[in-house]
Amino acid sequence: MINNIMSNGVKIEIFGIKFDDLKMGEVLEKIKGFLESVQDKQYYIVLPYSEFVVKAQKDEEFRNILNQADLCLCEGRGLWLMTKFLGRKIKESINGIELIYKLNQELRIKNQGIFLFGGKTGVAEKVREKLGKGVIGVENGYQDFNKAIEKINLAKPEILLVGLGSPKQEKFIYENLNKMPSIKLAIGIGGAFDFISGRVKRAPRILRKIGMEWLWRLIMQPKRIKRIFKGVSGLLLLTLKKSANIKKD
């Protein structure tokens, strides 16, 4: 288990999940505070998008992990648009890929090490090439957890980026962070490794802006159709139900 410290910012609860209402600059300031904290604490960040929200409705453990995170950030643009539609607008959708780039740039200055855990064999290595010397260790997502934890502890990084997919990555962090004492901050980053490595091409900016990145990913990875359909349709259904309840009230 993790000793949790909730952020001091405003929380916006929607679909049973408590999101931090922060812009990217504010997120980076929060992270800076986590890393510079002299307290003997470990922190973790989650980045929910539509698929997370749908899964969390039936998985209470997963929902609790999201709500206990030190920062719970709205990643999906589509999810952000739904919050706006429901009158619960969050300041900004935080893209996990952009967060990693900005975080890595900051860490290079301070020489704080990052460990990458997740993705298919060879993907994390390609991400390390893109991010540079700030990455001090990698392990693919198909490795036994105990062996991965052992490798992480040998590297002694301060930041751990976990790309195992949801809810696997969030549960891994929640259940195992205290077994990796050097880690000050862990972040569940979903499929970001695939995009940063170049394994999957990112959607054009216009599609990202209008919340249609899911369609691009479906075109690029048609095998994900079932997951994407459940996430998008599930979020729309939740939004319609929530909207109907608001009108009744």
Instruction: Let me know whether 25 and 128 are in one domain.
Output: yes
Instruction: Let me know whether 175 and 235 are in one domain.
Output: no
Instruction: Let me know whether 21 and 131 are in one domain.
Output: yes
Instruction: Let me know whether 89 and 132 are in one domain.
Output: yes
Instruction: Let me know whether 114 and 235 are in one domain.
Output: no
Confidence of residue 197 (pLDDT cuts 50, 70, 90): very high
pLDDT at residue 189 is higher than 70: yes
Top mean pLDDT of 92-101, 125-134, 171-180 is at 171-180
CATH number for the domain harbouring residue 27: 3.40.50
Strand, helix or coil for residue 36: helix
Q: Quote the number of domains for the chain.
A: 2
Angle between helices 77-85 and 50-58 (to 10 degrees): 70
The residue range of the domain holding 239 is 205-248
Domain for residue 48, yes or no?
yes
Instruction: Let me know whether 117 and 230 are in one domain.
Output: no
Q: What is the pTM of this model?
A: 0.87
pLDDT at residue 132 is higher than 50: yes
High-pLDDT (> 70) share of the chain, %: 91
Instruction: Let me know whether 136 and 28 are in one domain.
Output: yes
pLDDT at residue 221 is higher than 50: yes
Domain for residue 4, yes or no?
no
Domain for residue 153, yes or no?
yes
Q: d(Cα 136, Cα 221) in Å, to the nearest integer? A: 30
Residues 148-159: tens digit of each pLDDT: 999 999 999 999
Residues 90-104: tens digit of each pLDDT: 999 999 999 999 988
All residues at 6 or more sequence positions from 3 whose CB lies less than 8 Å from its CB, including other chains: 41, 42
Confidence of residue 110 (pLDDT cuts 50, 70, 90): low
Residue 168: how many other CB atoms lie within 10 Å = 15
Instruction: Let me know whether 160 and 178 are in one domain.
Output: yes
